[in-house]
Amino acid sequence: MADIRSLHDAVADLVHDGDILAMEGFTHLIPYAAAHEIIRQGITDLTLARMTPDVIYDQLIGAGLVRKLIFSWGGNPGVGSLHRFRDAVENGWPRPLELDEHSHAGMANRYVAGASKLPFAVLRGYRGSDIPTRTETVSTVVCPFTGEELAAVAALNPDVTVIHAQQADRNGNVQLWGLTGVQKEAALAADRVLVTVEEIVDTLEPRPGGVVLPTWVIDAVAEVPGGAHPSYASGYSVRDNAFYQAWDPIARDREAFTRWIEENVRNEQSAKAAVR
């Protein structure tokens, strides 16, 4: 059963140093506020998993909290590179970053296997690609009926998954809608689940395209309006494309980045907002 808690307390209890942490959301519903709370609490040595690392992981990587990244596409969508990600991989700043790299189809199926509590998933993928030469989580299986060799990807079971949703009810049942990505799989694959929501409502009204996660698969819900910014929450906000573009010059420069994190994430006011 999900407890309804402050973001500060939920993050402090559920996210630990050294965890495998998935913060999912495919462009939509990315849990930025929770990532900022992790930065404020200095939770470190994380292995981060995410199909599209995006600016949210650029921030965690640049803040020096990340040991390893499991991913399939690391860019600033529509803008260009993730400069903090590149700086960590290319120059080891502020620390080296180990990579476990996949295709989207492979990552999606790793979460499916994780949610299904299977040790692996099968796909017709990675054929002719060099990707399997750099990871130990792609292998092959042979179909016992046809003899065809197929790709096998290892299940991905995060210690903790954090997602952002539009609504929870007072019992901690959650509903998200719009692009729902791999959030259900990432949540069901994890040992612990934290959901930040735009709003806590009396009753969840079924929505077209709605994905419901019952309270008994969630550990904590925190009400964080705007918690997906600069990403968005369909029905509550629109994507702040200008922020994504403004991020490029900030992230290009180590000092500008560090200053930005200091001023916009670590300062007192953002901390107070999380305790609410």
Q: Give me Rg for the CA atoms of the chain.
A: 18
Interacting residue with a second copy among 206, 242, 255, 268 (CB under 8 A): 206
State yes or no: residue 26 binds another protein (CB under 8 A).
Answer: yes
CA angle 72, 75, 76 (to 5 degrees): 140
Q: Minimum distance from CB of 39 to a second copy (Å)?
A: 33
Q: How far apart are CA 14 and CA 36, in angstroms?
A: 15
**Residue 126: contacted member of another protein, a second copy, none (CB under 5 to 8 Å, by partner type):** another protein
> How many residues of this chain interact with another protein, rule: CB under 8 A?
70
State yes or no: residue 203 binds a second copy (CB under 8 A).
Answer: no
Return the number of the residue (86 or 164) whose C-beta is nearest another protein.
86
Question: Going by C-beta distance under 8 Å and a sequence separation of 6 or more, which residues neighbour residue 29?
Answer: 163, 164, 165, 166, 176, 178, 179, 180, 181, 183, 228, 231, 232, 233, 234
Q: How far apart are CA 112 and CA 118, in angstroms?
A: 9
Contact predicate 132/138, CB 8 Å: yes
Interacting residue with a second copy among 120, 226, 236, 254 (CB under 8 A): 120
Q: Minimum distance from CB of 117 to another protein (Å)?
A: 5
**Residue 140: contacted member of another protein, a second copy, none (CB under 5 to 8 Å, by partner type):** a second copy
Q: How far apart are CA 17 and CA 66, in angstroms?
A: 10
State yes or no: residue 91 binds another protein (CB under 8 A).
Answer: yes
Q: Residue 26 is encoded by which pair of tokens? A: 């495919």
Task: Look at residue 76 and give its three-state secondary structure.
Answer: strand
Q: How far apart are CA 136 and CA 20, in angstroms?
A: 16
Number of Cβ within a 10 Å radius of residue 170: 12
Nearest CA to 233 out of 172, 183, 170 is that of: 183
Q: Which of residues 135-194 bind another protein (CB under 8 A)?
A: 148, 173, 178-182, 184-185, 188
Q: Minimum distance from CB of 139 to a second copy (Å)?
A: 4
Q: Would you say the C-alpha torsion 92, 93, 95, 97 has a positive or negative sign? A: negative
Contact predicate 80/53, CB 8 Å: no
State yes or no: residue 272 binds a second copy (CB under 8 A).
Answer: no
Residue 190 Cα distances to 24, 207, 262, angstroms: 12, 25, 31
Choose the stretch contacting a second copy; rule: CB under 8 A; options: 65-73, 208-216, 223-231, 251-259. Answer: 208-216
Residues 41-70, mask of contacts with another protein (x by CB under 8 A): ----------xx------------------
> How many residues of this chain interact with a second copy, rule: CB under 8 A?
27
Interacting residue with a second copy among 1, 143, 256, 275 (CB under 8 A): 143
Binding site for another protein (CB under 8 A): 26-28, 51-52, 71-82, 85-86, 89-91, 101-105, 108-109, 111-112, 115-118, 123-131, 148, 173, 178-182, 184-185, 188, 209, 211-214, 216-217, 232, 234, 238-242, 244-245
